[in-house]
Amino acid sequence: MTQRTPLTGDELARAVAALPGWSIAGGKLHREFKFPDFVRAFSFMSAAALVAEARNHHPEWFNVYGRVVVDLTTHDAGGITQNDLDLAQKMNELAA
């Protein structure tokens, strides 16, 4: 499997189960992060943006005050790939 091959079935379920806080919603890897304030949420987004840009893999996300909602999918692969899982893991690390 390459980084851009969509995961399916049990393989996808196992991978998502290993990512605390993440689920599948609308065919995308989904998580809502909560931070104590806007500055912390924006700091997380800034750090995540640098990681995403370095990987040329960009999240769909939404921010209001201390909440950041993230959806990940590899559009050109037509689904959730290892690239999405890797970025999700890095986002978890950045949010800790």
Dist CA 77 CA 90 (whole Å):
21
Mean pLDDT of the chain: 95
Q: CB neighbours of 77 closer than 8 A, spacing ≥ 6? A: 4, 5, 6
- CATH 3.40.640.10 for domain 9-95: no
Mean pLDDT along residues 38-44: 98
Mean pLDDT along residues 22-30: 97
List the domain boundaries for the chain: 9-95
Q: What is the pTM of this model?
A: 0.93
Mean pLDDT along residues 26-45: 98
pLDDT band for position 4 (50/70/90)?
A: confident
Dist CA 64 CA 31 (whole Å):
14
| Res 2: pLDDT | 56
Q: Does residue 69 have a pLDDT over 50?
A: yes
Indicate the SS3 state at residue 32: strand
